[in-house]
Amino acid sequence: MYEEEKKVYRERQMLRYKLIKEIYDVYFSTNGSGKKVTMEQLTSEENLAYKYLCDLGFIDCEQIIDMEGSDRKYTITAHGINFIEEGKGRRKGDFQKA
């Protein structure tokens, strides 16, 4: 059972890294714009991963409500940029507040 739990934890860490890396890439490829995410398309794990990254201060979140539904725009913070550029997020213990 312990090995299964470790696998789940590692998958969650890799999801968080994937999401923050996407937000980082969007930021620099669009001159500072954020990544727009449609809430209805998110899995529960993705939603929780975004929340976690916000709680750590790696990304900012802006709620966008319009006629089409509810979206969020995620933008990387200076702390998140440093996190990516220092090569973190791939090792155990990397996702911790500084």
Buried (b) or exposed (e) across 23-38, using 16+ Cβ within 10 A? bbebbeeeeeebbebe
Predicted TM-score (pTM) of the model is 0.83
**Residue 53 burial (CB count, 10 A):** 24
Separation between Cα atoms, residue 61 and residue 75, nearest integer Å: 7
**More confident position, 9 or 90:** 9
Q: For the structural domain made of 2-85, what CATH number should be given?
A: 1.10.10.10
pLDDT in tens, 33-91: 999 998 888 999 999 999 999 999 999 999 988 777 779 999 999 999 999 998 876 55
Bridge partners (DSSP) of residue 76 are 59
- Tokens representing 70 are 């509810």
> Does residue 98 surpass a pLDDT of 50?
no
The domains of the chain are located at 2-85
Give the residue-averaged pLDDT of 3-13. 91
pLDDT for res 41: 87
